[in-house]
Amino acid sequence: MKTVFITGANKGIGFGIAKHLGLNGWKIILGARNQERAEKAISELRALGIDVPGWVNIELADLASVDKAAKEIIEKYPEASLLVNNAGIPGDMSVDSLHSEIDVIKETLEVNFIGTFALTKALAPLISNNRGRVVNVTVPSEISPYWHPLAYVASKAAQNAMMGVMAIEFEQQDIPIEIFSVHPGPTTTDLNGNMSLPGFHDIETVGQKMAELINDGQNHQGEFIELYPIVEEK
């Protein structure tokens, strides 16, 4: 049985990915910040017959927490072969760039980029040993005229750069890790205030699509894959 660690897996897209990978035979390790929400998600997944041995507490804004979580994963789940970097925060999506607070920009970068990089770096030896993969849930680096909150887009652009650089280095150095990024497309989640507009998809649809992509047997090294591109507003 293949084992995956998914950050932010207690709700939203992370939960959808956990559900559909689990239904396809993966053992699911949840990454979460809140014990009550993590245990609720575990109960729901186990009710579907999914193998969820436990959860790992992780706060991406706290590098000590990231280090502790990585050590726990390496110790408890040495067979883990897939890391899904899903957790993130939105920043302030209600303001334009000139009204963005510096503290909010820094906080969003710390979680979405620095914390994600730190976790990927810490788990790289384990993933490499298992000839595994890293999948990032992100958005395009290209700026859309229809949706462009600065803190969030900048943090994900940095994450995309991380993926591209790592993919090249892994190939150049013969490191057996495959890394790629996936843009789920507009999805109704807590992150965007459960926004639901034409062109938006639900967690169930996106989770199933993500699982299908991860299980497709193809090599996606260095790719940025859009499940549902952002469409032009009418």
What are the catalytic residues?
152
CA distance 69 to 223: 27
Classify residue 201 by its DSSP letter.
B
| DSSP letters spanning 174-186 | T---EEEEEE--S
Q: Please tell me what DSSP assigns to residue 112.
A: I
Helix (H, G, I), strand (E, B) or coil at 217: coil
Phi, psi of 56 (to 5 degrees): -125, 125
144-147: Cβ within 8 A, 24+ apart: 144/230, 146/230, 146/232, 146/233, 147/186, 147/230
Distance, in Å, from the CA atom of 223 to the CA atom of 163, rounded to the nearest integer, reads 9
Q: Which helix H or strand E contains 168, and what residues bound it? A: helix 150-172
The upper half-sphere exposure of residue 99, i.e. CA atoms within 13 Å in the direction of its Cβ, equals 6
- Extended beta strands in 47-190, E state: 54-57, 82-85, 133-137, 178-183
What is the b/e burial string over 30-43, where b = at least 16 CB atoms within 10 angstroms of the residue's CB? Answer: bbbbeeebbeebbe
